């Protein structure tokens, strides 16, 4: 409980109320006391003025202070203080308390409030003993204090009540998120919490929902990946196993057909494992790109060189159009791998005698390398998926061509690792164009002159 935010809020609010009420009480008490004292002082000054006038006229009428005690006893009820009257010589002639009568010592007398008669010929002096706070004052001040204490108690109770309600409402989403996170911890990934507000807690709730959704997606992808990999491996492995079993049991001879099939399937297995390795590394961001300045033309010539034989075999023409000496800062092997993959796909999908076009075009600070073929194209519904893992438009055809369904996925990852992108445009029956966009370092480095070069293979 004491570690909960609710408890901390409660303690915080109570402290605020106590400090606020304490300050108000202190200030109110001081100003009430001061005001009250001023009022009393003014009131008494008037009363003493009246008293001194009364006593002066008494002396004028009677010519002595005889009977003055009776007079001040009568009127003392209106005064809260002890009043002492002395003759012009200083001996006490009247005292509301009575014990200073006849006494001439003025030490016990505190405050001289009036000289009776004329200043140069006084008939007596009026003294006042220590002023004590009257009962009325005490009642007034204690009622002020009581009101403040009452307000403090009500405020603390209200603070407790409101904090409990407020914290319950505010912290409810956090409680929900905590419970949902605990359920995720126990493997139940299907969690979503209500987003009730647009404040920080609301943002936390929506961030949590996005995270839970992403976790679910990743878990789904992981499961799909395992089942996809198992599925992809099963086919070549089953064939290899079948052939070897038949040869072992003597139901089949080790002829060229069997060896070719074994070779083809083991090669597919190897490609699958290599591709999976590349893909895993790329997806985990552990590719360790060996970036270096290199001319795009150099990469293209290397790719063309390595694919020339296949182009000849398939009777396919490749046109490459360069757009000047473009200097890239890339890992040459990885970009070579991407372009090779796109060209191999273009060959596989080109009709016999078809032409493949490789163009480069410069935009603001990027270079676009596009590879277009005259193949069967990709149906519209398949286009968004061609970069997905193991996605094949025509499964049976892809198997016979030895495709793993990972080539485009890897290419996309490799290009993105170079802060580039790869896109496809295609229409059924109209061929396909794959475009790789990469940031480039410099143009015209070799001879500063854009050069158009046509290379037919």
The contact set with ligand ADP (CB under 6 A) reads: 341, 345-346, 349, 373, 375, 378, 386, 391-394, 398, 403-409, 432
Give the bridge partners for 422, in sequence order.
436
Q: What token pair was written down for 35?
A: 């005001």
The distance of closest approach from Cβ of residue 382 to ligand ADP in the complex, given in angstroms and rounded to an integer, is: 7
Residue 398 or 435 with smaller CB distance to ligand ADP: 398
Residue 405 or 420 with smaller CB distance to ligand ADP: 405
Residue 341 or 360 with smaller CB distance to ligand ADP: 341
The distance of closest approach from Cβ of residue 374 to ligand ADP in the complex, given in angstroms and rounded to an integer, is: 10
Nearest residue to ligand ADP, scored by beta-carbon proximity: 403
The distance of closest approach from Cβ of residue 395 to ligand ADP in the complex, given in angstroms and rounded to an integer, is: 8
| Residue among 454, 419, 456 nearest 439 (CA) | 419
Kindly calculate the radius of gyration of the chain based on its CA atoms and give it in whole angstroms.
52
Residue 15 or 273 with smaller CB distance to ligand ADP: 273
| Residue for token pair 């997606």 | 217
CA distance 350 to 357: 11
Report DSSP state, residue 284: T
The distance of closest approach from Cβ of residue 341 to ligand ADP in the complex, given in angstroms and rounded to an integer, is: 6
| Residue among 387, 377, 382, 375 nearest 426 (CA) | 377
3 burial type by CB count under 10 A (0-12 exposed, 13-18 middle, 19+ buried) = exposed
CB 410 within 8 A of CB 282: yes
Sequence-ordered alpha helix ranges (H) in 125-253? 135-185, 200-249
Residue 326 or 408 with smaller CB distance to ligand ADP: 408
Number of Cβ atoms within 10 Å of the Cβ of 410: 25
The distance of closest approach from Cβ of residue 329 to ligand ADP in the complex, given in angstroms and rounded to an integer, is: 26
Residue 245 or 395 with smaller CB distance to ligand ADP: 395
Q: CA angle, corner 411, sides to 365 and 221, nearest 5?
A: 120
The distance of closest approach from Cβ of residue 237 to ligand ADP in the complex, given in angstroms and rounded to an integer, is: 18
CA distance 416 to 427: 25
The distance of closest approach from Cβ of residue 337 to ligand ADP in the complex, given in angstroms and rounded to an integer, is: 12
Residue 316 or 408 with smaller CB distance to ligand ADP: 408
Residue 109 or 386 with smaller CB distance to ligand ADP: 386
CA distance 4 to 2: 6
CB 316 within 8 A of CB 308: no
Residue 124 or 405 with smaller CB distance to ligand ADP: 405
CA distance 457 to 440: 27
Helix (H) or strand (E) holding 83: strand 83-87
The distance of closest approach from Cβ of residue 264 to ligand ADP in the complex, given in angstroms and rounded to an integer, is: 14
The distance of closest approach from Cβ of residue 236 to ligand ADP in the complex, given in angstroms and rounded to an integer, is: 14
Question: Torsion angle of alpha carbons 173, 177, 180, 186, nearest 10°?
Answer: -150
DSSP per-residue letters across 33-44: HHHHHHHHHHHH
Distances (CA, A) of 399 to 151, 254, 263, 378, 440: 85, 23, 14, 17, 36
Residue 392 or 418 with smaller CB distance to ligand ADP: 392
Residue 123 or 341 with smaller CB distance to ligand ADP: 341
The distance of closest approach from Cβ of residue 238 to ligand ADP in the complex, given in angstroms and rounded to an integer, is: 19
Number of Cβ atoms within 10 Å of the Cβ of 297: 20
Q: Please, how many CA atoms are within 13 Å of residue 447, restricted to the half-sphere of its CB?
A: 6
Report DSSP state, residue 357: E
The distance of closest approach from Cβ of residue 370 to ligand ADP in the complex, given in angstroms and rounded to an integer, is: 12
């Amino acid at each position: 409980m004491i570690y909960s935010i609710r408890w901390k809020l409660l303690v915080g609010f109570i402290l605020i109320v106590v400090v606020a009420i304490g300050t108000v009480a202190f200030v109110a008490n001081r100003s009430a006391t001061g005001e009250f004292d001023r009022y009393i002082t003014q009131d008494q000054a008037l009363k003493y003025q009246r008293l001194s006038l009364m006593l002066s006229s008494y002396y004028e009428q009677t010519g002595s202070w005889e009977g003055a005690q009776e007079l001040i006893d009568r009127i003392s009820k209106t005064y809260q203080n002890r009043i002492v009257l002395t003759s012009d010589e200083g001996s006490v002639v009247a005292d509301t308390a009575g014990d200073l009568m006849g006494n001439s010592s003025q030490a016990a007398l505190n405050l001289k409030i009036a000289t009776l008669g004329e200043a140069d010929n006084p008939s007596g002096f009026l003294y006042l003993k220590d002023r004590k706070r009257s009962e009325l004052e005490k009642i007034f001040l204690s009622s002020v204090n009581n009101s403040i204490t009452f307000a403090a108690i009500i405020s603390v109770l209200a603070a407790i009540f409101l904090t409990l309600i407020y914290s319950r409402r505010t912290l409810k989403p956090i409680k929900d998120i905590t419970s949902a996170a605990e359920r995720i911890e126990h493997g139940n990934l299907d969690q979503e919490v209500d987003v009730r507000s647009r404040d920080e807690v609301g943002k936390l709730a929506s961030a949590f929902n996005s995270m839970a959704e992403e976790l679910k997606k990743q878990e789904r992808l992981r499961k799909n990946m395992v089942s996809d990999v198992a599925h992809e491996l099963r086919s070549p492995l089953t064939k290899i196993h079948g052939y070897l079993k038949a040869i072992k049991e003597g139901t089949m001879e080790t002829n060229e057909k069997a060896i070719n099939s074994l070779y083809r399937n083991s090669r597919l297995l190897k490609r699958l494992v290599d591709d999976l390795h590349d893909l895993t590394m790329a997806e985990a961001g552990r590719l360790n790109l060996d970036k270096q300045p290199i001319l795009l033309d150099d990469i293209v010539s290397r790719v063309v060189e390595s694919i020339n034989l296949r182009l000849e075999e398939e009777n396919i023409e490749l046109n490459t159009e360069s757009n000047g000496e473009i200097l890239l800062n890339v890992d040459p092997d990885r970009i070579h791998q991407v372009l090779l993959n796109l060209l191999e796909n273009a060959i596989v999908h080109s009709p016999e005698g078809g032409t493949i076009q490789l163009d480069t075009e410069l935009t603001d600070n990027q270079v676009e390398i596009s590879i277009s073929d005259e193949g069967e194209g990709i149906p519209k519904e398949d286009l968004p998926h061609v970069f997905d893992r193991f996605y094949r438009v025509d499964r049976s055809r892809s198997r016979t061509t030895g495709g793993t369904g990972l080539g485009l996925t890897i290419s996309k990852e490799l290009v993105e690792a170079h802060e580039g992108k790869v896109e496809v445009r295609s229409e059924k029956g109209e061929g396909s164009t794959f475009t790789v966009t990469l940031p480039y370092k410099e143009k015209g480095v070799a001879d500063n002159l854009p050069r158009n070069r046509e290379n037919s293979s």
